[in-house]
Amino acid sequence: MTVTKMTWRPQYRSSKFRHVFGKAATKESCYDGVPITRSVQDNNFCAVNPRFLAVITECAGGGAFLVLSIHHTGKVDPHTPRVSGHKGNVLDVKWNPFSDYCIASCSEDTTVKVWEIPPHGVLKNLTVPWKELQGHSRRVGLIEWHPTANNILFSTAYDYQVMIWNLDCPEQVIKNPVRTISHHTDVVLSMSFNTDGSLLATTCKDRKVRLMDSRSGNILQEANNKTHKASKVLILGNMKMLLTTGTSRWNDRQIALWDQDDLSVSLLQENLDGSSGNLFPFYDPDTHMLYIAGKGDGNIRYYEISSEKPYIHYLTEYRSNLPQKGMGVMPKRGLDVSSCEVFRFYKLVTIKSLIEPLSMIVPRRSESYQEDIYPMTAGNRPALTAEEWLSGIDKGPVLMSLKPGSQVAESYSEMNKERGNLLDSRRSQSRPGMQQLAYIQDQLGTKDGKEDGSRTADDRSRTPISNGEDLALCSPPRTENELLLKFHKQQEEIRRLRELVHQRDVRVKQLELEIKNIKNSQAQSSDF
């Protein structure tokens, strides 16, 4: 008689991210009263870094975007100064991954402009850019920074061209890109780089997905699938796979997975629903998690990606009644590791003029640093100069640890000193029209530098924090309510310090009485 041994297999896949949940910020931690753009462009309209939040706004007579301190939450003053140097509507903004004070924008006026944001934020309307890139003949719809090379910027426009710009040059107005890629026969809808920036993937209105060498522009693979019309593309880190979002033949919203080495047929196609808004994909290479957010939806689906079949594993879904127009994403170095936050969105809610931070959190009981969910990640230092990358060198990103204390933070005085030197060198390269703006920015930097320099050695060792806020990151009050709030906070701090001084005085008197009693007792014993 043959006995067959029954093996039990679980019906679910074990994963440390199985119970990730979305946590929306409180009303006080949102940005309220922001006039978000009504543009129908399928972009995110928002860019975030650990210091600033930039959002494209609705305005008349040209284009503008708002730059707010990341801690400037609550009601936003409608008269807040903006970056308003474009003559047409701004269509996309992106922060430089290696400088929290440098942002690029593109517009319907056919130009790309690169701006230097002062350390204290935009205190008055900024109209003169650091660099202006003129090369496209029609409106520029999309820009992307190179992930590892410093000052290399990619742009694409409605003239079907993808242009590569080198910002490391003395000219303030750059009219000639270092390379132009002309393979596309229609509007480019999205661009994505692999981890070291050697490959560039694009989707186009001609229904084709192209994978090319990012430096030369030579096409390596091309997909033309009749059952999947791709609108957005992502290269999934170093997993040698591409993910596209789009629509099926029957106009169902769909995601598709592709082998990077063979785009002739997709590895997987999955229909999601029948809604009409575009799907925005976001990928975290550290956790291998994929987030899918639909334009006009309130929900965000998230999945885990693996290198083996079935490749995509559905985790769960965040649901909300507030529809999103676009999404900004905080870089990993700006996350709150103490609460096990692995991803953070900034959700644009047009109907309420609201920007709502949304944290994706791994539930853990321990309050210690969780190394298994925070591997070494891409930092804010470039691996290559622009010249090295153009000469043919490819390098992966410079990695950093998110563990508190593992990275020595740059002091505020050093930041101002470095920034002042940067402005000096750039002012000498710029046209005369920038003299006044650069002078004002330089004065701001040198003034703070002098104040820092006048401090004692003991003062320099202290962290510049007041009322629980980092002085380097907080912006000055701009409305009467903000001024009153700051005043009340200051009064509270003064009251607390007075109580502390009073307690110290009482303790000193107690110690003096004890000393006096001891002396008296000693004197009495010596008399006997």
Banded pLDDT at 528 (limits 50, 70, 90):
low
Phi/psi of residue 510, nearest 5 degrees: -60, -45
Reported as a single tens digit per residue, the pLDDT across 216-257 is 999 999 998 888 999 999 999 889 999 999 999 999 999 999
* CA 69/CA 124 separation, integer angstroms: 14
Q: How far apart, in Å, are the Cα atoms of 57 and each of 158, 297, 376? A: 22, 21, 35
Mean of the per-residue pLDDT values of the chain:
84
Q: Is residue 151 a contact partner of residue 180, using CB atoms and an 8 Å limit?
A: no
Reported as a single tens digit per residue, the pLDDT across 8-51 is 444 456 788 889 999 999 999 999 999 999 988 889 999 999 99
Q: Is residue 305 a contact partner of residue 236, using CB atoms and an 8 Å limit?
A: yes
| DSSP annotation of 403 | S
Q: Is residue 127 a contact partner of residue 85, using CB atoms and an 8 Å limit?
A: yes
Radius of gyration of the chain (CA): 27
Structural domains for the chain? 21-378 (2.130.10.10)
- End-to-end C-alpha distance for the chain, whole angstroms: 107
Output the pLDDT for position 12: 55
User: Would you state the torsion angle of the CA atoms of residues 290, 377, 331, 309, taken in this order, to the nearest 10 degrees?
Assistant: -10
Q: Is residue 232 a contact partner of residue 189, using CB atoms and an 8 Å limit?
A: yes
Considering the entire predicted model, what is its pTM?
A: 0.76
| DSSP annotation of 457 | H
